[in-house]
Amino acid sequence: MTTSTTGVVVQGTGGVWEVYTEQGERFSASMRGRLKHEAHGALKLAVGDRVTIARDAQHAETWAITDIHPRTSKLARRMPGGRYGERIVVANLDQVLVVFAAARPDPHPRMLDRFLVIAEANGLSARIVINKADLVSPEVSAALFADQMAAGYPVHHTSIHTGEGLEALRDEVEHRSSALSGPSGVGKSSLMNALFPGLDLRTAAVSDAVNKGRHTTVGAMLHPLPHGGFIADTPGLREVGLWGIEAGQVASCFPEFRPLLSACRFADCIHTVEPGCAVREAVEAGDVSPGRYESYVKLRDELMGRS
Ligand SMILES: Nc1nc2c(ncn2[C@@H]2O[C@H](COP(=O)(O)OP(=O)(O)OP(=O)(O)O)[C@@H](O)[C@H]2O)c(=O)[nH]1
Ligand SMILES: [Zn+2]
Alpha carbons 297 and 149: distance in angstroms, whole number: 20
Which ligand is the nearest neighbour of the Cα of 254?
Answer: 2
Ligand 1 atom closest to the CA of 131, numbered from 1: 31
Confirm or deny that 276 is annotated as ligand binding: no
Q: Is the CB of 185 under 6 A from ligand 1?
A: yes
**pLDDT tens digits, 291-305:** 999 999 999 999 998
146 CA → ligand 2 middle, Å: 23
Q: Is 35 a residue whose pLDDT tops 50? A: yes
Ligand 1 atom closest to the CA of 203, numbered from 1: 23
Which residue's alpha carbon is nearest to atom 5 within ligand 1? Answer: 132
Asked if residues 179 and 237 have their Cβ atoms less than 8 Å apart, the reply is yes
Instruction: Calculate the alpha carbon distances from 144 to 61, 150, 219, 285, 288 in Å.
Output: 53, 11, 33, 22, 16
Confirm or deny that 271 is annotated as ligand binding: yes
Domains of the chain: 2-68 (2.40.50.140), 90-240 (3.40.50.300), 247-303 (1.10.40.50)
**pLDDT tens digits, 227-239:** 999 999 776 666 6
Which residue's alpha carbon is nearest to atom 22 within ligand 1? Answer: 184
Confirm or deny that 125 is annotated as ligand binding: no
Provide the pLDDT for residue 205: 43
Mean pLDDT is lowest, of 20-29, 38-47, 87-96, 106-115, for 38-47
Rounded mean pLDDT, 152-181: 97
**pLDDT tens digits, 73-119:** 988 876 666 566 778 889 999 999 999 999 999 999 999 999 999 99
